[in-house]
Structure 1
C-alpha cells in the first residue's frame, strides 16, 4: 500500500497530562514504538494490529510501552488510548479500558480519576520540570538540580523507573506539546518551534518514528477535545 492510498486518522482526541484518548477511524501506520502503553478498542468490529511482527485481532488489544507495532485496521471506528507507564501499569490500563470500553466519555472520566501509583519524590520533581518544558533547551544538569541529584543518579533513576533515558522522555513531552498546539490550530512549523524542535522537519521525523505516521496528513483530520 502506498502512502498516498493510506487512510489518515480521523476523529476527536482528548489529551490529559499523562494519557490521551482518540475516538474515530484509525489510519494505517508504519512499524514504530513509543513510550506510552496503547490500547485499541473496536466499536463495531475487531481491531487488527501487528505487534512484534505478529498479526493480532480482537475487540480490545494492548500494545505495551516500547513494543514495535503497526496499526492495520482502517475502516472501522475504534477508541485508541495512550497512557504513560508511570501513571498506569498495563494491568491498570486494561482494567480501566474494560470498564469504559463502549463509552468514550465514561472511559475518559475513568482514566482521569484512576488512582496513580506513588512516585519517588525526586522523580516527581524531575517530571514536573519536564512537563513544563518550552522552546528552550532542557539540559540534564537542570533536571538533576531540580531533583537534587547528580546527572548519573538522575539517569539511573529514569532508566530504573521508566526504562528510558531522560532525553527520550523530554522528546516525548515536546511531541505532546507540539501535537496539542497543532491540533489547536497552530501552523505545524509554529507548533514545532514552540515545543522546542529545531524546525518542522525535526518534528515530523519524530512523529514518524514515534507514531509511524506523517504529521501533516494525520493531524488534518483530527479535532482537539477537552477531557470530560
Structure 2
C-alpha cells in the first residue's frame, strides 16, 4: 500500500505556546526526531512505536526529546502530546499522562502545570523566537535581545533548552508553518510566512522532524482547542 492510500492522522490539533495536543486517529510515520518530548495515550488500543530499531507497545508511550522513532500504529484512537523541554521535563509528562484519559482533562492540566524556570536572559531571547515571522533571525540578533554574546547564548540554549539556537528557531518556524496551513494557507504560502525558502524546503524539514510531509500532516487534521 502506498502512502497516499494509507490512513493518515485524523482529528483535531491544538497549538499552545510550549506544547501541542492532537486528538484523533494515528497514522504511521517514517523514522524521525524532534525537539519536543512526545506522549502517546491510546484510547481504544495499545500504541506501537519503533525506538532505536526495537518495537514497543502499550497504552502509554513516552518518547524523550531528540530520540529517533517511528509511529507504527494505524487508526488507533489516541491523545498525542508534544511538550517542549524548555518548559517540561520527562518526569512531568509521566505524571501528566498517568491520570489523563480525556483530552479536555489533559489540556487543563497542561495549562496549570508549573513550567521549568528559565534564565531571564534566555527568556528574553525565547520571547523573540516566539514572535518569529518570515524574515531571518540571526543568532547575533537573539544574543543582542538577551544582552549576551553569541557563545553565551549558545551555551545557555544547550544547557537549559537542550537545543541549539538554530534548531530552536527552526522548531518555531515548523510550528508556525503548521498553524498557517491548518488556518487555510496553501503550503507555499505557509512555507514563506514561516521563513522557509519554498514549500520543498518546508517539506524536507517536516519529514526530518515528524516523519511526514506537510500535506500528510494537515490533510485530515483541523485546528482547534479541546474543551
Query: Do the two structures share a fold, i.e. TM-score over 0.5?
Result: yes
Give the distance between the partners of 2:217 and 2:159, measured in 1 at CA: 34
Query: Gaps (5+ residues) in structure 1?
Result: none
> 8 Å contact 1:15–1:227 — kept in the other structure?
no
Q: TM-score, normalised by structure 1?
A: 0.97
1:83: Cα distance to partner?
0.2
Q: TM-score, normalised by structure 2?
A: 0.97
Give the SS at the match of 1:24.
strand
> 8 Å contact 1:9–1:27 — kept in the other structure?
yes
Give the distance between the partners of 1:162 and 1:110, measured in 2 at CA: 22
Give the distance between the partners of 1:56 and 1:42, measured in 2 at CA: 13
Give the distance between the partners of 1:125 and 1:162, measured in 2 at CA: 13
> 8 Å contact 2:85–2:162 — kept in the other structure?
no
> 8 Å contact 2:86–2:162 — kept in the other structure?
no
> After superposition, what is the alpha-carbon deviation per residue over 1:8-45, rounded to whole angstroms, capped at 9, x for unaligned?
11110111000001011111100000000000000011
- Counterpart residue number, 1:155: 154
> After superposition, what is the alpha-carbon deviation per residue over 1:157-179, rounded to whole angstroms, capped at 9, x for unaligned?
11112232100000000000110
Q: Does 1:87 align with 2:87?
A: yes
- Counterpart residue number, 2:4: 4
1:71: Cα distance to partner?
0.2
Count of residues in correspondence between the two structures: 227
Query: Gaps (5+ residues) in structure 2?
Result: none
Give the distance between the partners of 2:183 and 2:107, measured in 1 at CA: 19
- Counterpart residue number, 2:223: 224
1:218: Cα distance to partner?
2.5
Give the distance between the partners of 2:132 and 2:7, measured in 1 at CA: 33
Q: Does 1:104 align with 2:103?
A: yes
- Counterpart residue number, 2:120: 121
